[in-house]
Structures are given as structure tokens and as C-alpha cells.
Structure 1
Amino acid sequence: MRPALRRLALAACSFVLLSGCAGAGTSKTSVSAADTQEVTVIGTDCSAESRVVAALYGELLTAAGQKVRTAPTAYASAADTVKAVLAGDIGLTPAYETAMLRALPGGDRLPGNMAATLSMALPPGIVALKPAAAERGVVLVVTRATARRHALRSLTDLSRAGGRLTLGGPASADPDAPSASSLKKTYGVTLAPAGTSRTADVLVLRGTAPSIRKDALVVLTDPKGVIPPEHVFPLIGAPNADSTARKALAGVNARLTTEQLAVLVASVEAGRAPGEVARTWLRAEGLLS
């Protein structure tokens, strides 16, 4: 090949190779934001409350265009899911105020100011979003007959029974459950320990226990706050807490009450899938199309 022709051929090959590299570079830099978006891994504990609330979060984030997947294994407790968020193993979990503080070193509660408590207790990069009205904490309940007999509406009213009532129930060993001594100190109420849950006059239950609605039990109010708050809220890592995620999750926080959560829990405990229960409720509330 003549020298002039050889130079033309080499120039042509160089142009093709450079064009190919430029094309590859253009393709790489044109990856959409959705392709590089942080995947939010949602973790739960084994309870029906945690699983159905996590499903609510997942449905709303997915509808908002967020990438979501569920952690393959449920954690043993709400405290363990908090620790998993702190460790970066998951990006989001349903959390509960007092249970979360127990999981944090130095997570002491500031009386009357839970929002400030959470902000001070959490390390940088972890965000506690606004809580829902719904609580999964313990409550003290009585039957309607007992409420009528002693005119009971609040824990203060228990003093009218004159020490004749007993205290017990499935959640009486819960860390948040008030003891007979704490009730006496706060309300001046004397309650004897019951032999079994069946014989207790005042039952300690989870606020989401299906039996409250099923048996029309009366929940006694706690005006002096002897029972610590356990509102459910999204605990989320900062990389997952962009404005889109915050706005989507705010939909649940603005609508979900303890009574509604109890209905969702009952459906899950009856065998329905948490995702199905979550979608049905979100559509009924106009939060999901």
C-alpha cells in the first residue's frame, strides 16, 4: 500500500475507534436517575403490627417511584430493627418511641417532649419522621360490665373500686406495662395481682389487640402518663429520606389511628397477606390508586 493510502486507512480506523469510545461514554453518562436511585430496604420484626405497617410504607414508596425491597428475614424485636437501621443493614423500619429509646445508649426520655428526645438520641444520618396517631403500646382495659359497675373511664377512676380489682393480662410482662406499685404511686390505686389473665378485672393488653374491638372492651385513659408513648413512625436512613420518600410516608402518618391499625393487625393475624391488607386500606383512604 502506498504511504499516502496507508495514512488515510489509519486515520479512518482511528476515527471509528474514537467514535466507539465516545459512544460508550455517552451511553454511560446518560443513565437515568431511576437507575442510580438508592434502594430502600425495609425491615420488620415478627409482629403483625410491624409487618403491616412496613407494607404500608412499601406500597406508598413504590407508588411514588422509589425502589423498595423487603429484608429477607424478620428481626426478633422492634429494638433489633432499630439497631439494623443504625448499622446500615436496612434503610427503613416501623419504629416505636419508647421501644426505640430503650435500644439506644443513653436514650433517656425528656418528659413531655418526645420529638426533642428522638432528635437528641439518634446519631447523625438517621431520621425519625413524624409519628402517626397509632400506638402499639400497652393499655389497661376492663369489660363493659366492670366499667359500668365501678363507673370507670380512666385509671384515676380505679380508686373507686376500693382495692377490690385485680391486675393481669397477656401484656402484663411488657416493659411498658405499669406495675401495681407504679399505679398506686401515680393514681393512688390499689390492684391485687391476678392469678391468671382470665381472672383479672383489669387487663393489660397491646393497644392493637383484636380482642379490644371484638369483645367491646373499655380502654381506660391515662391522664398522668404512667404508660409511656409508643406511637409508630418511620425510622429511616438519610440516604433514603429524600423529599419524595418523606412526602409519601407522611400519608400514612396523617391518617393511621390505633383503632385502624388494630383492624389491619386483626386481618393479618387472620391469615391475610400484609401487602394485600395494606393496599386495601390505602385505596380506601385515597392514598393509593
Structure 2
Amino acid sequence: MSRIAALAVCSLLLLTGCATANAQGTHVGYADRAGPAVIGTDGSTESRVVAALYGELLTGAGQKVRTADVSYASPVATAQAVVDGRISVAPAYESTLLRAMPGGQTMPGNMEATLSMALPPGIVALPPAAAQGGVVLAVTPSTAKRHRLYGLADLRGAGTGLTLGGSASGDPDAPSVAVLKKAYGVTLTPAGTAGTADVRVLRGTDPAIARDGLVVLADPKAVVPPEHVFPLISAPALDLTGRTALARVNTLLTTAQLAKLTASVDAGETPGRAARAWLRAKGLLNRP
């Protein structure tokens, strides 16, 4: 198969273990060549904020970086661009990435090992941040107080009159009423994307959670899979110094912190400015 044909196959099948290689078996692509590391994002505010954090950290570590000329349609498309060698670094999410890997093995309780086994040669999942961008189920403070709701299992005591819906109800990881019934024995009525549903299906970084003081319900049975954000990189593009710089954000970037950053950008601040201010406040960036 020609090198061009190999690239075409890789672009169609995300993370199947296919990688363009040279005679020594090393993954090669545009983003691996000499020059700045190329950071890509999808169109979401959250992705642009995280990418800005990565860019500032890498620049502060002496790594030359630039932003990709296009934004991708989804986290999966952005990850595919890393695999194809079109970009060097991108924010990625655990379960979203694994869902795109046909036949990938899963190591229960060990997401790092699972990703390591599933990714093709030359593509590396760096350790994740504490922040999760996945789906959560939340209720208003008044609903939580009225029904004494702290976790999803508590919904059993609320009877059968509550509805389930919200802006993230169409997400692949959003649990259906049937899934919640099976896992927790609760009875809810589906309400689609209605923002007035009693139990709201939202992204964990949705600004409405902090703005409205919503109570996120605990999910001890993990019916919603983890979606921690992490840097997906083309290994030749970042040296140890660059990788270490990205790792510094892990424990400090919580879901609540990422939600605040996202909200500030939605309110008009640029991702770069928001990222610089936050990193300086956390002692991770010294330059102005």
C-alpha cells in the first residue's frame, strides 16, 4: 500500500492501530516535522479554553506552538487529527476517545492502561486533569431540599412525578430513564432537552451549575462513564519538558475551575487571556 493510501485509510478509521510509518517504524506526519507544535480544538468553548491552557504552559516551557488553522467538529474529530499527524496536541476525553476505538480492550478501573493499549504507535495519552467535561445529573436546591436528594439512589423516595431532561440529554453518555431504573430503581419521565426538567442532564462544566446553585447528584454505580480531560499528543512533537509542563495543570484544573473559565470566555473574554490569568493565579505561569 502506498504512503498516500495508508494515510487515507487512517483518516477513515480512528485509532484502529493504523499509523503511517517510515522504514524504522516511527509514526510520521505533518505535526511531527520540525517546527512548532500544532494545537487543535473542536468548536466548543471548553475545548478552546483547555487548548489555551496547554498553549500557555508549553510556551512558558520554551516550546514553540501555534493554533491549528481550523477547528474540528467534535473531540473525536480532533483526536483523529492527532492520529493522522495533522496536529500535535489536543484536549481529549476518556470515554469519548475509547468509544471511537473499535475493539479496544478495557482494563476495568485502569483508564490509563486502557488508553495505552488502544492508541496507535506514536500517540500518547498524558495523565488527565481532575476536571471532567462529561455528563452530570443535577437538581435545583429547592428540589434537592424537598426530596432530600444527594445521589441518584435518593430519587427513589421522590415518587414517580419527576422528569429527566436537559441540554446534554442527547449526549451518548447521558443515561436514559430505563438505565436509571435498572441501576437505581428510580422512575422518571423523559423530557428531552427541556431546561425545566426536574432532573437536569448537563455537561459537568455547564455554567448553569454554579450560576443557579444546582446540586449535582452522586452516581456511585457509575452509570455515567468518566470523561476527564487530558492532552492527547503526537509523541515526537513534545519533549519531556513540554510533557512535564502540561502535567502541572492536572491536580489544579478541577471541574468547577474549568466551568468558571468556560463561563468567562462565554461572557466575552478571550481563551488566551482567561488561560493566562488563571495560570498566573495558580503559580503555573510567571510571564505576563
- Residue 113 of structure 2 corresponds to 116
- Helix, strand or coil at the partner of 2:104: coil
Superposition deviation, residue 199 in structure 1: 3.7
Q: Give the whole-Å Cα distance in 2 for the aligned partners of 1:196 and 1:102.
A: 23
Q: Does structure 1 conserve the Cα–Cα contact (< 8 Å) formed by 2:169 and 2:192?
A: no
Superposition deviation, residue 48 in structure 1: 0.7
The match for 1:180 among 177, 180, 184 is 177
Superposition deviation, residue 131 in structure 1: 0.2
Query: Structure 1 stretch 101-110 or stretch 253-262: which is displaced more?
Result: 101-110
Q: Does structure 1 conserve the Cα–Cα contact (< 8 Å) formed by 2:167 and 2:193?
A: no
- Name the aligned partner's letter for residue 155 of structure 1: L
Task: Report the RMSD for the aligned CA atoms in angstroms.
Answer: 1.3
Q: Give the whole-Å Cα distance in 1 for the aligned partners of 2:192 and 2:95.
A: 28
- Helix, strand or coil at the partner of 1:197: coil
1:85 matched to 2:82? The reply is: yes
Q: Give the whole-Å Cα distance in 1 for the aligned partners of 2:71 and 2:233.
A: 17
Q: How many residues align?
A: 254
Matches for 1:59-74 after TM superposition, within 5 Å: 59-74=56-71
Superposition deviation, residue 108 in structure 1: 5.2
Matches for 1:206-285 after TM superposition, within 5 Å: 206-285=203-282
- Helix, strand or coil at the partner of 2:208: helix
- Residue 10 of structure 2 corresponds to none
Q: Give the whole-Å Cα distance in 2 for the aligned partners of 1:286 and 1:268.
A: 21
Q: Give the whole-Å Cα distance in 2 for the aligned partners of 1:102 and 1:194.
A: 26
The runs of 5 or more residues in structure 1 that have no matched partner are 1-35
- Residue 150 of structure 1 corresponds to 147
1:121-173 Cα shifts (integer Å, max 9, x gaps):
10110000000000100100000000001110011111111222110111101
TM-score (normalizing by structure 2): 0.85
How much identity, in percent, do the aligned residues show? 67
Q: Does structure 2 conserve the Cα–Cα contact (< 8 Å) formed by 1:79 and 1:102?
A: no
Matches for 1:126-137 after TM superposition, within 5 Å: 126-137=123-134
Q: Give the whole-Å Cα distance in 1 for the aligned partners of 2:135 and 2:192.
A: 20
1:49-96 Cα shifts (integer Å, max 9, x gaps):
100100000001001110101001100100000000000000000000
Q: Does structure 2 conserve the Cα–Cα contact (< 8 Å) formed by 1:164 and 1:191?
A: yes
Q: Does structure 1 conserve the Cα–Cα contact (< 8 Å) formed by 2:167 and 2:195?
A: no
Superposition deviation, residue 251 in structure 1: 1.2
Q: Give the whole-Å Cα distance in 1 for the aligned partners of 2:133 and 2:234.
A: 22
Distance 1:108-1:266 versus aligned 2 partners, 3 A rule:
farther
